[in-house]
A and B are shown apart, each in its own frame.
Chain A
Amino acid sequence: MTLTSSTGNWSMLSQNFSQSELPTGIDLLWARFGLLGGRLQHRTSRYMALASRVLDLQKEIETYTDAALKDRTKQLQAIFRRGRDTLEVRLEAVGIVREVARRLRNEHPYKVQVAGAIAMLEGNIIEMATGEGKTLTASLTGTLYGWRGRGCHIITVNDYLAERDADSMRAIYEFCGLTVGFVTGAMEPQQRRAAYQCDITYLTNKEVTADFLRDQLAMGRQRGLSESLLKKIMDGAGTNTDQLVQRGLGAAIVDEADSVLIDEAVTPLIISGDGGNKLEAETYVEACKIASEFTPTEDYRKNDQYREIELTRAGENRLAKMIEAAQGVWAGFRRSEELVVGALVAREFYENGKQYIIDDDKVVIVDEATGRLMPDREWRDGLHQAVTAWENLEVQPPKDTFARMSFQRYFRLYPTLCGMTGTAREAAGELWDIYRRAVVKIPTNKPCIRKTLPQLTYRTQSAKIAAITEIVQQYHDEAKPVLAGTRSVKASNVLAAGLDDIALGNYQLLNAVNHKAEAEIIAQAGQSAAITVATNMAGRGTDIKLARGVADIGGLRVLLTERHESKRVDRQLQGRCARQGDPGETLSFASLDDELLIRHAPWLRNLLAMLSKFPTRSPERQAKPISGPLLWLVNLTFKYAQRRATQKAFSQRKGVLKTDTWLDEMLGFSGKQT
């Protein structure tokens, strides 16, 4: 154990984790030009041609006995380990692994899967429709990366999938002479270390990043192989290097690459621990006491859009009077104002059951988008303490941050990074700019026969809900399965209430449960007459298989109940139906009250709201979708709002990376950070 662990650790220590700089100015233009050039060269056809060559090898490989096949894998492993693999060797290797998969799982990877595997081998991000067998594709690429001997991380969306995929692909890897492991949140360091020592490790982005950060912390400020070696020689066993769990970063295959590398990219992962003193915690209680004497509009103004509180002159005077004779923290006006404003923000914008719940006398954050509980996380800058104080719970001092890293920065550290997702086209620019990875679209094995119906736009939210429930009822009566995707937990509850109103009680609501149950419910969504209401994030990575007979009545119906901030996410939801050549239909609903418009195209929205009232305001007409000449403007507005939202988010992510780089430069005296 010590031996293997040590051998692995050295590579962690000697690896140079420096962030490459983002291109700017002319460099950026040149980089974009490279992207354009890459598009012209048409990668898809190149990889499809290479896949054909692999398929041509099939006849010869089929004749191998199992023992010969195993022998060949050993030889190939040796070649890959030495890094002497040429394109020919790689194609043969893919062919061999494909044959292994066929023999062990009776699953013969399709040509498109082979093409995807080769594309990933060359460091691309592949766009592959849902249900095309991404797990198997990843195992083809993963085996070859595993043979390199530097470890390969296969990043999944959640712990359940990590375990499931590792187990289902285990046979292939083991036949090829590789070890497989997986990491879940509940594991102890010992188990983690063992999993990381495997050639292939299945795990989530959160686990891998957290382990990396913990290792960095364990190594302390002394980084580098030579220093650690000296320390080890001097201090003997049990030094900090023995606490490391990872063994350096080799290759990563990211499943659902767009959500990991883009959507979740800037949420930093924070390793924190207890800190501060009890006295500090008291100040938050005092702040709430002071803040409770403040009244809105008179003492402060609130800004709902940005969740901000601003004291008025009167409020400032009141505060100044209240802290006149105070000591300590309250002696200074600025700090006092900060504390009181913080308390007011907590009171005005944070609601029990919405942003947080109380569990075991503790405030637990609820993710507003997915509805998941996040017990490990805390709001920053005293907000968590303020919320706790308002709830009259015992206030714990703020935790000290020990390390912090965004996924964006973490994944940029991998020398080899590739990924796969159902929707990447729209994010090609960003993936290229930030990760320097190209997107390759892999065609489907069977042609897709999904029907996408034009969007229906209603004037009000209630009209939209009514229309959705009506159509759900209709599909239900026709025994067609329906999946209604919502944007947030709140929206899913609203829709569920709407279904309750028309006494359609037998729906499945999926918004904040554990992954395994989620996957099971989602897997059932293809049963005839099933109704599933789910947030977009729920049950990702699980296929919806159609029950017998459902294909004959048109397959699964996916309802987009609201447009998302990026077209990519809309497509993720649409991709839930019509997989593997099955029939399917998607219908999207929108209203002028949608948050997308309110936040990203408020002027146009108001204009539309005004125009749509003409010529009549009869209730029947209000309940119908917008039609006629206004329709093109409506569609244009949605397109515009979505584009703006995507652009805004991108520039924000880029800004975060830039700030990080700037900080690195400025704080060079604190040693090198990753």
Chain B
Amino acid sequence: MAVQRPTFHESWYRISAMHPRLRAGIEVRRQFYRGQKWYTLCDPGNNDHFRLTESAYYVVALLDGTRTIQQAWEQTMTALGDAAPTQGETIQLLGQLYSSNLLRGDVPPDVEGMFTRFRKRQMREIGGTLGNLMFLKIPLFDPDRILNGLVKVFWWVYSPVGYALWAIIIALGARSLLGRWDSLTAQANNILDPSNLLWLYVCFAGIKAIHEIGHGLACKKFGQSEGTLGEVHTIGIMLLVLTPMPYVDATSSWSFRRKWRRVAVAASGMYLELAVAAIAAILWANSASGSLLHAISYNVMFIASVSTILFNANPLLRFDGYYILADILEIPNLNQRSKQYLYYLVRKYAWRVKNPRSPAHNPGERRWFFFYAIAATIYRIFICISILTFVAEKLFFVGVMLAVVSVVMWVILPLWKFVKYLAISHELTRNRPWAIASTLVFFGVISAFVGLYQWPDRFVAEGIVESVNREIYHAGTDGFLMEISPTNEKVDKGYQLYVLSNPDRQSEAGQLQDQLDELEARRKLAQRDKKFVEAKMYASQIDALGKKLQRIKSELARQVGRADFTGLWVAPRMNFQIGRWIKRGDPLGMLTDPQRRRFRVVVGQDEAARLYTDRNIKVEFYLQNRTDLPGGTGRIEKIIPAGQSDLPSASLGFSSGGNLAIDPSEKSGRKTLEKFFEVWIEPNTPLPSELYHSQQKIVVRFELSSKPLGQQWFRGIHQMFRKRFSK
């Protein structure tokens, strides 16, 4: 029958005559979520929580050990009508209560079954732990009594006095940082310095311990306000990506009636941490630079603020921020249920399952589920990939192991479950062909897009600007500098740039001319006299002297420098040299052609290989940090092959804000760790000289011929592995 919730269930007879009841000692608390009334059953022994709807609780509340289940159910039916749970739902409800050990039956319990359940639960926990190698939790001891003692001393931290104090500390801390922004950011570069790592970790662990104690204390303090004990039974160590961190189990706060108290417990860790950060800021500001206190307080400040905001406050990770968000929104189990909701949407609209059960209780929840599920999934994939690559880089073996486990847990298992669901689930019995077809089409479209659709393939590299036509003018001859064009002036071709004067040479030239004239006269005389031998002698003398004069004359001609091409004359401070004696070969100035530029771009080996093979490359460029300016296009002039490890400029190296890792042992800062290719790019159009100075950093984007995304990703992953693991 196509009825959504059939009233009867064929196994009802098995429980109808029983009179079970809730186990003694189970705490029941009424909570409101989004205006709906819920009841939370809490087992104080192990902080297990179980949330019931109003109608479900109606049945459970009627079960007092004297009524039979049948009576309780009938009474609920009369009272609530359609809202009452059906027989099937009641069976499920009681079954769940029983397997959570919240229900006591009226026959001696099935002891064997209890042990089986216990074992199963243990196995599940172990399995869950192994599945979460990234967040391995190891419980250590029960801190309840210690916290009871602590809360007697520190209760005021969570009182108006405490809040006021906190606000003052934060304000003082913020004030101490005012005007120190530069040194603050400057020191940030050194935080990951190897010499600091140990200190960094010690501070980290210390701060996190304070954070966790904050949770524990808040749970106790607010638990007392709630009238429960706010029990905290587990403290332990969590291996967060193999880094040991303390953690505390404050789940008893989940049964608090007031939502803001639940939020407060979740936020209390960050509350203390921020106070610690503020105190550290004050210490840092008031300690001498270079002292140990200065360094440690910087570490503390950095961790307690940055890590808190990045991790703890982030609702997309399952840390404090998540619980705060869930409590503020009044949507418990936000993460799990939002995933279920997404799944529900797929089942309903893509697979056309009839009447799937929505995990949302009202429209507000639906919206939140939708956005949260998508955001959290994307974010988590991102985080997992970055953690994995990070770990893989540091610890090859562990990294690969973690990657394998994660791939199994997050990809293969869900995929297997998904395929199994598609293949055999009862829910899909009727529209299995449709469900399979729509799924195949969906994945087909995606893989066609990834595998076939041509997507621009581009990468970005850095380089420097260099002038192509650059001539340095050296003094062609010795002489006094008579004139020189002012620097940074545009000059045309043939323009006189400078004039040197060498009076000695000039007079020497005059003398030689005189001697020549005289010898010529003599030669002519001898010719006329038919003294041929004599005339010949004069001629050879004339020849020798003429050559000498010629030499001097050309030297004199070099006293005047003229521009060989139109360009910018750069002769800084040379106007002060006028009248000075300039030696031959001394530089006088430089003429550059601002129109013609070349970019020397440094490209990794993998990318360069692609530049070689691809015939169809578009090159675009823009000045670094000046994306507001129009860039330009260019073409590849030349690729200087492998083997390079000396950068064209130190500014491309890691230490100067570039992308390339630099050999730290080299002083020059130009030696790279990895060999690279140098690519020369010639701009297609002349560039405004006032912007593109020589030696300026430039960013070049190479756009290769389009390729399917799949091919690009595969290459990227392949490269990453080769780079990471070939060392």
Contacts and interface: CB of A to CB of B under 8 A. Distances in A.
A342 interface: yes
B82 A333 contact: yes
A381 B7 CA distance: 8
Interface stretch (A63-71, A401-409, A506-514): A401-409
A309 B14 contact: no
Contact of B117 (A332, A334, A665): A665
A289 interface: no
A352 B20 CA distance: 44
B113 A310 contact: no
Interface in A1-50: 18
B94 interface: yes
B99 A665 contact: yes
Nearest to B96: A666
A655 interface: yes
B10 A401 contact: yes
A345 B12 CA distance: 23
A311 to B, nearest CB: 8
A18 B10 CA distance: 21
B426 A667 contact: no
B1 A341 contact: yes
B7 A666 contact: no
Nearest to B116: A665
Given A670-B18, A671-B105, A310 B2 contact: yes
Given A335-B82, A341-B1, A341-B2, A669 B105 contact: yes
A402 B13 contact: yes
B18 A655 contact: no
A229 B94 CA distance: 32
A672 interface: yes
A332 B103 contact: no
Contacts of A341: 1-3
Nearest to B18: A670
A309 B8 contact: no
A668 B107 CA distance: 10
A654 B94 CA distance: 25
A673 B14 contact: yes
A259 B49 CA distance: 48
A380 B10 contact: yes
A518 to B, nearest CB: 32
Contacts of B108: 671
A667 B2 contact: no
Interface string A324-358: 00000001111101100110010000000000000
Contact of A334 (B5, B10, B99, B103): B5
A435 to B, nearest CB: 22
B113 A672 contact: yes
A632 interface: no
Contacts of B2: 303, 308-310, 341
Interface in B70-86: 81-82
A662 to B, nearest CB: 8
B70 to A, nearest CB: 10
B18 to A, nearest CB: 5
Interface size range on B against A: 35 or more
Contact of A668 (B10, B113, B426): B113
B466 to A, nearest CB: 66
A651 interface: yes
A446 interface: no
Interface string B86-126: 00000110111011000111011110111011000000000
Contacts of B11: 404, 663, 667
Interface string B1-29: 11111111011111100101000000000
Nearest to A338: B3
B444 to A, nearest CB: 19
A221 interface: yes
Contacts of A614: none
B424 interface: yes
A332 B82 contact: yes
A298 interface: no
A666 B95 contact: yes
A18 B112 contact: yes
Interface in B172-214: none
A669 B94 contact: yes
Contacts of B12: 401
Given A337-B3, A341-B3, A381-B1, A669 B104 contact: yes
Nearest to A328: B78
A255 B104 CA distance: 44
A381 B10 CA distance: 8
Contacts of B107: 221, 669-671
Given A342-B1, A345-B1, A400-B13, A669 B109 contact: yes
Interface in A399-428: 400-404
B7 A335 contact: yes
A308 B2 CA distance: 6
Nearest to B103: A669
Contacts of B103: 669
Nearest to A654: B424
A670 B113 CA distance: 12
A331 to B, nearest CB: 6
B424 A668 contact: no
Contacts of B430: 306
A667 B15 contact: yes
Contact of B114 (A303, A332, A334, A668): A668
- Chain B CB count within 10 A is highest, among A303, A335, A667, A669, for A669
A670 B20 CA distance: 8
A668 B110 contact: yes
A667 B6 contact: no
B110 A308 contact: no
Given A665-B99, A668-B99, A668-B110, A338 B91 contact: no
Contact of B81 (A221, A331, A342): A331
Contacts of A672: 110, 113
Given A18-B112, A651-B424, A666-B99, A309 B1 contact: yes
Contacts of B95: 663, 665-667
A335 B4 CA distance: 10
Q: Which of B82, B94, B103 is packed against the most chain A CB atoms within 10 Å?
A: B82
Contact of A667 (B3, B8, B98, B117): B98
Given A308-B2, A338-B3, A380-B8, A667 B14 contact: yes
A671 B107 CA distance: 6
Contacts of A309: 1-2
A669 B91 contact: no
- The residue in A332, A345, A670 that gathers the most chain B C-beta atoms within 10 A of its C-beta is A670
Contact of A669 (B6, B20, B81): B20
B104 A308 contact: no
Interface in A575-604: none
A66 to B, nearest CB: 51
Most central of B2, B13, B18, B426 by chain A CB within 10 Å: B2
A395 to B, nearest CB: 16
B98 to A, nearest CB: 5
Nearest to A655: B426
Contact of B1 (A308, A331, A402, A665): A308
A513 B108 CA distance: 48
Given A332-B82, A380-B8, A381-B6, A401 B98 contact: no
Contacts of A667: 11, 14-15, 91, 94-95, 98
Which 6 residue pairs are nearest across A and B when measured between Cβ atoms? A666-B95, A669-B105, A332-B82, A332-B81, A401-B13, A671-B107
30 contacts: A308-B2, A332-B82, A334-B82, A335-B82, A338-B1, A380-B10, A381-B8, A382-B8, A401-B10, A401-B12, A404-B13, A663-B14, A663-B91, A664-B113, A665-B116, A666-B91, A666-B95, A666-B98, A666-B99, A667-B94, A668-B99, A668-B109, A668-B110, A668-B114, A668-B117, A669-B15, A669-B94, A670-B18, A672-B110, A673-B14
Given A309-B1, A666-B95, A668-B99, 13 more contacts: A221-B107, A303-B2, A310-B2, A338-B7, A401-B10, A665-B99, A666-B92, A667-B15, A667-B98, A668-B110, A668-B117, A669-B18, A672-B110
